[in-house]
Structure 1
């Protein structure tokens, strides 16, 4: 049977395709932006942190508004606000005004998440996990295309602002498109039935101060790892590996291709061959190995390959963390999701500021040494979670027996 909300879903995915561009657009245009506002790279990293601040400050209220007024108003308004941000940045005459626009982008991002993730769950009730993981795929696709667009503008000596104006125009068109579509009505979940199913999955009740704390740490480190890479990979390529400005920006394309391939593989393999709890342990291990190679081998072709693996190993971890925390603490799904999302938002604020200060006082290489410690923290938290999850979950044969009894 054909899903009547496929157009609605496509509009939501278009928003995240464009958000993939927004996520790296300030870092990818550091040169012209620093000249425009007479600042430095640290100043731009503070602007990127302001996006995280906007998310953190409004994540709670966005969820309440989404439940009260529905998904459509938040999604439509957030797309319009993101378009305003994209138009405003290249036209901002001052750093202070640009800061206001970046806060707006963070608020928009929060509203978009609060409307889209539950919206996709309602559009695809039989496969909500795959629907939400595909959000990351569209984000990665957008982040792959933006550097190509910037390279085209640079080679043809065109105004860098077109890289902002083009996605802004698509956002505004998508606002009109989404405004004409219907969204599923919000339905109350069957808590009793869900509770019975969840209880058959665990030997004992999960403990938030144990498993929950580990997941909060992973929520922070997963966001921190891809934030550092998206901001500083081009600068590292230019200053340490001796790459040209255009070639260094293309590193973000290879990074995004890795992310895209990773998410597509996860969409196919999850719960069939591999569990989310294993992925969030394995991926930061790959990240740490990749970072070690980046720090020791300063050859452009090696950096290009490692950029791909960085993208591959940092993709989808946050989404899988949300999946696990809502599985373990199903009685308070909204609350625990908000806590992990807040940790993610905190990382998106703290890491641009921290790495900006490191760049100012120590150098680009020191940033990636710092990134190694973040990866190690993520591995430690994931190892503990894997151990606890193994103790909590019942043998597969016992699960099947319980299901057959029902």
Structure 2
């Protein structure tokens, strides 16, 4: 890794610590926000779906423009919009205003993705998958930490807004650092890197692009439904106490972090990205199915860990890295395609879940169906990978 990019990469990773918190900060505060916005839990679900709408509107364009205008612009834009969301949510008292803020959060997240993923792949070309999966580690740390903070606030009867202010403070400091001190590969360097060496486009856009889009839709839908509804599922279906139900998200996040570190360790020992892809999607489907069929306290705790491991441990980031191998000369555009599909999932899946929220078992069944879709897509991607790149074996890694 090029050491002069490490400070910048750490700043980008810190952004994703807050992204992890932003994913679950609305569902973790559902009841109090419903009262503040003068709506119901279904209304909060609509607000959450607006995050996906914001992402959906700009993801593809952001990815394409990132290839042309550079990564720094979109990273700073994304962080700025997240600052607007966290600050605005504290003073918003209407459902309409909350939807607008959530849409801006989605636009900000898409902008961050469009700048961050390609930048990391360009900064660390020999460790692209590791660099992207590490983003997931920071996202998972955020998801693990926030429920603990909120549980403390609830137990002490403190104001819920302290969790928003914490995110706001970290974001402002990190954005100022990236604005003043960040370093990125120059556009000319990126073009030169793309031109040197055997990097032809080997995939067919309408075949492989569609498969990766379906995979991203399913994988992101599984991840979002689990992270958003697992706490409520634990309370209403499993029958857990408030504290125990919130702990499911922490178990889920521990599973995610465990997967990140295991994936990095195995990748450095020769296991290929495409091999992770199929194994993790099958694990995700199996664990969700078990949780749906056997909603007991012990099973829910174990499966929360496995779901976090398989669905939230970097499988979307691995899929993005695999797709970049099919289309190596347009990493921003590839990111845009994947994040657009993920954004469509974020919007539509949350709307469907909101309609099913009167019976949370049905929400979990929806998650099972999405996981099965992901298994089918990952299987077809693996077939295409074998056809284009030949048989896949574990690489022999020689320690120096």
Indicate the RMSD between aligned Cα atoms, in angstroms: 2.3
Shift of 1:298: 2.6
Aligned to 1:386: 382
Q: Could you report, residue by residue, the CA deviation over 1:236-274 in whole angstroms, capped at 9, with x for unpaired residues? A: 000011112222122111111111111121122127343
Q: Work out the CA distance in 2 between the residues paired with 1:48 and 1:225.
A: 15
Answer yes or no: is 1:297 the counterpart of 2:294: yes
Residue 225 in structure 1 maps to residue 228 in structure 2:
no
**2:227–2:249 contact (8 Å) kept in structure 1:** yes
Cα deviations by residue, 1:158-211 (Å, 9 ceiling, x for unpaired): 0111111111111111122222203122322344434x3558xxxxx5444443
**Contiguous gaps of at least 5 residues in structure 1:** 200-204, 401-406
In the other structure, the counterpart of 1:248 is: 245
Tell me the alpha carbon deviations over residues 252-309 of structure 1, each in whole angstroms, 9 at most, x when there is no partner: 1111111111112112212734322222212122122212221232322321111011
Q: Distance in 2 between matches of 1:388 and 1:146?
A: 39
SS of the residue aligned with 1:274?
coil
How many Å separate the matches in 2 of 1:118 and 1:292? 34
Structure 1 match to 2:315? 317
Q: Map Cα deviations across residues 13-55 of structure 1 (whole Å, 9 max, x no partner).
A: 1101111100111011111111222322221111111111111
Name the SS for the 1:158 alignment partner.
coil
Deviates more, 1:210-219 or 1:50-59: 210-219
Instruction: After superposition, give the CA deviation of every residue in 1:49-94 in whole Å (9 maximum; x if it has no partner).
Output: 1111111111233234434443333322322321221121132111
Q: Give the match for residue 266 of structure 1.
A: 263
Structure 2 residue aligned with 1:369: 365
CA distance in 1: counterparts of 2:18 and 2:290, whole angstroms: 31
Higher relative contact order, structure no. (Cα contacts within 8 Å, ≥ 6 residues apart): 2
Alignment partners' CA distance in 1, 2:61 and 2:211: 25
Structure 1 length-normalised TM: 0.90
Once the two structures are overlaid, the 10-residue window that deviates more, 278-287 or 103-112, is 278-287
C-alpha distance in structure 2 between counterparts of 1:152 and 1:113, whole Å = 31
CA contact (8 A) 1:71 1:183 kept: no
Partners of 1:2 and 1:381 lie apart in 2 by 35
Match 2:233 to one of 233, 236, 239: 236
Compared CA separation, residues 2 and 232, structure 1 to 2 (3 A): closer
Equivalent residue, structure 2, for 1:404: none
Question: What are the Cα deviations for residues 326-347 of structure 1, in whole angstroms up to 9, with x where unaligned?
Answer: 2123355544442222111110
CA contact (8 A) 2:224 2:346 kept: yes
Aligned counterpart, 1:352 = 350
Q: Is the 8 A contact 2:117 2:335 kept in 1?
A: no
Measured in 1, the distance between the counterparts of 2:328 and 2:155 equals 52
Question: Which residue pairs with 1:277 in the alignment?
Answer: 274
> Paired residue for 2:115?
115
Deviations 1:116-175 (A, max 9, x none): 122223333432332122111100011100000000101100011111111111111112
Structure with the greater alpha carbon radius of gyration: 1
Instruction: Show structure 2 runs of 5+ residues with no match.
Output: none
- Cα 1:150–1:381 change in 2 (3 A) is same
Aligned match of 1:329? 327
Query: Which residue pairs with 2:90 in the alignment?
Result: 90
**Alpha-carbon spacing, 1:123–1:366, altered in 2? closer, same or farther (3 Å):** same
After TM superposition, the structure 1 = structure 2 runs for residues 2-401 of structure 1, keeping only pairs within 5 Å, are 3-184=3-184, 185-186=186-187, 187=189, 188-194=191-197, 196=198, 206-270=203-267, 272-314=269-311, 315-330=313-328, 333-360=331-358, 363-395=359-391
Q: Number of residues paired by the alignment?
A: 391
CA change 1:216–1:396 in 2 (3 A) is closer
Change (3 A) 1:334 1:164: closer
Calculate the TM-score normalised by the size of structure 2. 0.91
**8 Å CA contact 1:124, 1:131 repeated in 2:** yes
CA distance in 2, matches of 1:332, 1:3: 25
* Alpha-carbon contact 1:251-1:307 (below 8 Å) kept: yes
Q: Is the 8 A contact 2:56 2:340 kept in 1?
A: yes
